[in-house]
Structure 1
Amino acid sequence: MRSRRSLLAVLVSVLFLALLQPATAGAASRDDVRHYVALGDSYTSGPLIPFQRLDPLGCLRSTNNYPAALARELENTLLNDVSCAGADTTDMTERQEIPLGFNAPQFDALEPGTDLVTIGIGGNDHGVFGSVISTCPELRDSDPTGNPCQDHFTVDGVDTLKTAIAQTRLDVEDVLADVRNRSPEATVLLIGYPRIAPPTGTCPGILPFADGDYAWLNDIEETLNAALATAAATNGTATFVDTYPASLGHDACADRPWIQGQHHNLLGAASYHPNRRGMAGVAGVIEDELAARGW
């Protein structure tokens, strides 16, 4: 998706203050720890959340994203975070072109002895997320109280983004099957996307969508999360972790948002992406899931 690649180039250009931080948690020997691999896109990697890692810089991977926050809470857990902004399901098995280089196929991090795998993927497949954020704000002025973005993506009565999400479900099913083959003993958690827009009301200065498109944006995100849940259920050995309910009241319009609005916070979060508070919130939901499993 060209729009996501160009966005990454812009973000990298402002990361001159990035600091290298350790990629793993703890210094215990390999036999003493559980091994955690984090796979995913920018909703996992955490663009612009301090501090940004340099390995590689183009992945916009934060030391305070949800994998890092989770690993700090889990005892005797060694994290290998290979998430990368802009990733889609193809980047699990193929190297991903990023500004200033490449990110290795994310599946290269998986081993037969891996104990925990979290996967946050799907939003970039078939350009769904990029299409929404690049198109909807531009259409607001044409019909501020209507739903011009929904109309734009509806062709002959069919919502083309929902059609794309149906294919994403199949793509994610393939990802989950491959993870299980590579790490047969791992606990595999498929992480859903937190809420971006409020269930009611608008905040055009923060989310510059037409009023009627807020409900449609929620519908698209719920459709994506439902597709991920179905993929996990079909796989049968992975668990979907739904972050959408916990993020209620923490949308981009809220007083304590988990999601950044339309403007980049160069020392906080990329536009339309989770901030540090959001990453901590997602980590808490995952930690609760693991606690219920006896971790």
Structure 2
Amino acid sequence: MTLRRLLTAAVVVLTSLVCLGTGAAAAATPTYSRYVALGDSYTSGPFIPFLRLDPIGCVRSTNNYPALLAATLHVSSYTDVSCGGADTTNMTAAQSVPLFGTNPPQFNALRADTDLVTVGIGGNDDGVFGNVVGTCPGLRASDPTGAPCKAHFTVNGQDTLLASIAATQGRVTAVVQGIHQRSPHARVLVIGYPRIAPPTGTCPDVLPFADGDYPYLDSIEHALNAAVSNAAAAANATYVDTYGPSLGHDACAGDNAWVQGQSFDLFAAYPYHPRKAGMVGEAGIIAGVLGASRVVTTVTPHAPTASVSTLTALAHALVKG
């Protein structure tokens, strides 16, 4: 073979390798332009630095999983309307929030050209999540080794929380259908809830439930995630499991925890809600589902965020409420 033919062959091979490499990179970086995030406080990220002001009462963090995902995907348009306390009704109805704010109906953010939507909703329907964290810790003293919370929510042999969750499934299905109607070309991801309680053991100083109510709390979360997963399947959306991958990151996991325990850290997390580490973990899980291999772990805010005095006033309002 002549030198010219050898050089020509080398160029062809090199060009092929470059093209293959480019194709692999493209496959690893999904292309989305207009991303909308919907959801409740497990999406908004209460008190994870830094809190946005639009409105402040939604306790929407600049470092929640939607913000990290948007930065990872390099989307050209990103709208996060998640709001603490939201339930499925707040997709189509405005939500009043602390400090005289209002979050418009979350569906208002959807457009015909929206091509990616994440939604994390359902835990607040019928007050399920609030009932658990608001009631169970106070019952521990009455029966520390038993399951007083489970007994409290069992009426005439029926678990009232599980009954509420069964109804939630249909509501979440309707939410996903509503997203498809407004954004027919969007990839829709329905995000599950991460693990709160460990599979074994207890940590009453962090998670002040009676010993027998740890598996009860876990069973409620299993049921909620199953309802959300079934809703996604029924409405032709992708369910993203954050419960399974959060094994070892429950509230009892110390520095490895993705979810805060009972204490309120004004500059890190609201009680029983995700920490920054949880948001990074969830963003990584979601990015993996979308085909992205790496995730941005911190986003620097480009707009004014809440001051210490505003955070303190908001915290007092939330605790009082």
Shift of 1:275: 0.4
User: Which residue is 2:112 aligned to?
Assistant: 112
User: Which residue is 1:163 aligned to?
Assistant: 163
Shift of 1:157: 1.2
Q: Please list the CA deviations of residues 52-100 of structure 1 after superposition, one character each: whole Å capped at 9, or x if unmatched.
A: 0001111000000000011111133421000000000000000001112
User: Which residue is 2:189 aligned to?
Assistant: 189
Distance 2:190 2:209 in 1: 29
Q: Which runs of 5+ in 1 are unaligned?
A: 1-31
User: What amino acid is aligned across from residue 167 of structure 1 in structure 2?
Assistant: A
User: Which residue is 1:223 aligned to?
Assistant: 223
Distance 2:33 2:282 in 1: 21
Aligned pairs for 1:196-275 (under 5 A) are 196-235=196-235, 237-255=236-254, 256-275=256-275
Shift of 1:272: 0.1
In 2 relative to 1, CA 33–139 (structure 1 residues): closer, same or farther, beyond 3 Å?
closer
Give the aligned length.
261
CA contact (8 A) 2:35 2:75 kept: no
Q: Please list the CA deviations of residues 228-261 of structure 1 after superposition, one character each: whole Å capped at 9, or x if unmatched.
A: 11111111x2111010011000000003100000
User: What amino acid is aligned across from residue 279 of structure 1 in structure 2?
Assistant: M
CA contact (8 A) 1:39 1:83 kept: yes
Distance 1:44 1:274 in 2: 9
Higher relative contact order (CA 8 A, sep 6+): 2
Aligned pairs for 1:1-295 (under 5 A) are 34-99=33-98, 100-235=100-235, 237-255=236-254, 256-291=256-291
* TM-score (ref. length: structure 1): 0.87
User: What amino acid is aligned across from residue 47 of structure 1 in structure 2?
Assistant: P
Distance 1:127 1:248 in 2: 25
Secondary structure in 2 aligned to 1:36? strand
Secondary structure in 1 aligned to 2:35? strand
Secondary structure in 2 aligned to 1:246? helix
Distance 1:179 1:201 in 2: 40
Distance 1:227 1:152 in 2: 22
Distance 1:262 1:55 in 2: 27
Distance 1:268 1:115 in 2: 32
Distance 2:142 2:76 in 1: 51
Distance 1:53 1:191 in 2: 22
Distance 1:194 1:106 in 2: 22
Distance 1:65 1:75 in 2: 16
- Of the structure 1 ranges 67-76 and 190-199, higher mean CA displacement relative to structure 2 is found in 67-76
Bigger helix fraction: 2
Distance 2:181 2:120 in 1: 18
Distance 1:158 1:187 in 2: 38
